Amino acid sequence: MVEYKAPHREYEFILKEVLKIDEVLSKYPEYDEASWDMIQMISEQFGKINEEYWVTSNKEGDEVGAIFDEGKVIVPEKMKEATKMVIESGLTQLFGHQKYGGMEFPNVISVLSDEMSCSANMALGVYMGLTKGAYHCIRYHGSEEIKNTYLPKFISGEWFGTMCLTEAHCGTDLGLIRTTAKPKEDYYSLNGQKIFISCGEHDMGDNIIHLVLAKLPDAPKGVKGISLFLVPKYVVNEDGSLGERNGVNCVSIEEKMGVHGSPTCVMSFENAKGYLVGEINDGLAAMFSMMNTERIAVGLQGLGLAEIAYQNGLAYAKDRIQGRDLKEPRNPEDEADPLIVHPDVRRMLMRSKALIDSGRMLACWTALSIDKYEKDPDEKVQKEAHDLVELMTPIIKSLLTDYGVEITSDMLQIYGGHGYIKEYGMEQFYRDVRIAPIWEGTNGIQALDLAGRKMPQGMGRLLRRFFHPALDFIEKNKDDENLKEFIVPFSKALKGLQKTTMYMAQKGLSNPYEIGAAATDYQRQFGLVAMAYMWLLMLEVAFTKKDEDSYYRNKIILARFFYERILPETLSRAITISSGSKTMMSLSDEGFDSYHKFTGAA
């Protein structure tokens, strides 16, 4: 019952018309092959594989799921076939560097591939996404020997990657980990147990490479004593062939709400051979280079599930005959009109579309800055681009996953009772996407990262990477007759965000609870203002082409909906933040209890 069409036209609009990536990327010799014709061809190829193989494997992945059998994890056959199609097409080589056998395509194109993958089969996208993250971590921090041994195998699709952080007694507080690493002659012996390890064991590839956080015997306490180790499922011989089975095993897999095709494993390390990645006691910083990549990728999980839910919700709203248009019958010859005539259904559809479009634009805009800081020869450009990515990463992760949950819920609502049963596939989207706000640091942690670390960093240096171009846009376009109706409310929303930022900075100096109490609201306020800015960038193009095609006129209408019915939420968020932390922190722990004995009073 589920259908999916890759949103090629949307990416053409954002990448080619708004961001003009063919002009931007032409500055970097490494991206010589990334012409628009080549990008379009890859997009169509990837879209076809997702439409024909990944979507069709999704139902089996959900209903059959990954099966645990005496330490082995068996992946559904259709998912293996779908993965094989990507590998054989050479698409796993896209984002690898030429030195290791990759095509070295821009990071901004990974937004396209990640969204499509997660729309079509989120569980399957997890395997590929984790491998891409492991690739980047090893490339940044691994020795030359490690890079030459492992990276080509990631690119070829023969080996897969994971990251192993969490332990039973500690989740986010990684300073409490107990996994140990003892130095041997030319390796480290790792012992401990990790939980919630996505794709920790499976039969999709020849080897699985685990990136594991552990502590040396003399390591300092807390996060300053964490090191990062590469632990392969099979030890790799000097000639690159696979040797003996390493001391790493899957003890069990979790029974989960969703994403059944991706196993969540309990992994045991027993005298497992591991190899240091990066510097001793600097493992958390090394792992975060992978985590930041994964956080943006998780944001795209929210976007991908929102998109496929929206496509199916829209199709159902057009097809399902129910009730009459409130003004006059749309189909007077029939007994009822389609659902899409009803204002509340249109509200859910337009809200979803407005958020998806601006969320996609925000992800692409940020990813283009990744390419700039990786490739631009100007150190100033590199630094500013890196600052922007650091600032926007927690916003993209939290905003797109929160909205992913909200949108899939609304699209299920359009189906009514049919949305709640398995036959139509909508309930799976909701079950699958619900993990995204939890993965890679819960969205509350992302909010604290934004408000507690990114906001004050460098006396607000990171904030300037967003505020300055936004203010420049206002100054440049304030007299534009087309944009004026949007510039005015955007200017007010931006000033409101600046005021909130100043308020939090001042209050946080005297009371750290103020930052914690305001963080989630601040993150949403910032995210909405960022989305409003993305709409301005899109509108600049849409107005110049509105007479060419209804596509552009529809963009203007969607932007108007966003500004009228979504952006005003920034006001309520600001009011909530200004209420402070006093009430929130004054209730005693016992005051949260809902069960109390009768007092016995008459």
Asked if the structure places residue 313 within a domain, the reply is yes
Q: Is residue 599 part of a domain?
A: no
Q: Which of 175-179, 180-184, 468-472 comes out lowest in average pLDDT?
A: 175-179
Compute the C-alpha angle 52/56/61, nearest 5°. Answer: 140
pLDDT single digits (tens) 217-228: 999 998 899 999
Residue 247 has pLDDT above 90, yes or no: yes
- Would you say residue 475 has pLDDT above 80? yes
Structure tokens at 206: 């020849």
Last residue of a domain, one of 112, 144, 176: 144
Q: Are residues 235 and 186 in the same domain?
A: yes
> What are the residues whose beta carbons fall under 8 Å from the beta carbon of 109, sequence distance 6 or more?
15, 34, 39, 42, 94, 95
Q: Does 596 have pLDDT greater than 80? A: no
What's the chain's Rg over C-alpha atoms? 25
Identify whether residues 225 and 300 lie together within a single domain. no
Beta bridge partners of 73: 68
Say whether 33 is catalytic. no
Identify whether residues 408 and 522 lie together within a single domain. yes
**Chain segment 203-217, per-residue pLDDT in tens:** 999 999 999 999 999
Residue 601 is predicted with a pLDDT of: 67
Chain centroid to Cα 387, Å, comes to 19
Pick from 119, 144, 169: which residue ends a domain? 144
426 and 544 co-located in one domain = yes
Q: What is the pLDDT of residues 377-404, one digit of tens each?
A: 999 999 999 999 999 999 999 999 999 9
pLDDT of residue 602: 61
Give the CATH number for residue 206: 2.40.110.20
Q: Label residues 44-62 b or e (16+ Cβ within 10 Å = b).
A: eebbebbbebbbbbbbbbb
Burial 83-103 (b: 16+ CB within 10 A, else e): bebbbebebbbbbbeeebebb
Alpha-helix residue ranges (DSSP H) falling in 102-169? 108-141, 144-156
Whether residues 221 and 115 share a domain: the answer is: no
For residues 313 and 365, membership in a common domain is answered with: yes
For residues 298 and 404, state if they share a domain: yes
Residues 430 and 570 in one domain: yes
The CATH number that applies at residue 111 is 1.10.540.10
Whether residue 508 has pLDDT greater than 90: no
Q: Are residues 191 and 299 in the same domain?
A: no
- 597 domain-assigned: no
Q: pLDDT grade, residue 327 (50/70/90)?
A: confident
**What band does 289 get if pLDDT is binned at 50, 70 and 90?**
confident
12, with CB counted inside 10 A (0-12, 13-18, 19+), is middle
Question: Which range marks the domain in which residue 13 is found?
Answer: 8-144
Boundary of a domain, candidates 85, 110, 144: 144
Asked, for residue 323, whether it belongs to a domain, the answer is yes
With beta carbons less than 8 A apart as the criterion, state whether 431 and 328 touch.
no
Return the closest-CA partner of residue 496 out of 458, 467, 475.
467
Confidence of residue 173 (pLDDT cuts 50, 70, 90): confident
One of 440, 475, 485, 590 is an active-site residue; which one?
440
Are 122 and 201 part of one and the same domain? no
Give a yes or no: residue 189 inside a domain: yes
What tens digit of pLDDT does each residue of 71-129 get? 999 999 999 999 999 999 999 998 899 999 999 999 899 999 999 999 999 999 999 99
600 conformational bin, left if phi > 0, alpha if psi -120 to 50, beta if neither: left
Q: Is 592 within a domain?
A: no
3-52 confidence digits (pLDDT tens): 999 999 999 999 999 999 999 999 999 898 889 999 999 999 999 999 99
pLDDT, position 253:
98
Chain center to CA of 235:
32
pLDDT tens-digit map of 122-137: 999 999 999 999 999 9
Torsion angle, alpha carbons of 286, 291, 297, 303, to 10 = -160
Say yes or no: 223 and 108 in one domain: no
Considering the domain boundaries, does residue 152 fall inside one? no
Q: In whole numbers, what is the pLDDT of the chain averaged over residues?
A: 95
Measured between alpha carbons, how far is 492 from 74 in angstroms, rounded to an integer?
55
Question: What backbone torsions phi and psi does residue 260 show, to the nearest 5 degrees?
Answer: -65, -25
Asked whether the predicted pLDDT for residue 144 surpasses 90, the reply is yes
Give the model's pLDDT for residue 32.
87
Specify the number of domains making up the chain: 3
Residue 150 belongs to some domain of the structure: no
Q: The CATH number of the domain where 324 resides is what?
A: 1.20.140.10
Same domain, 293 and 279: no
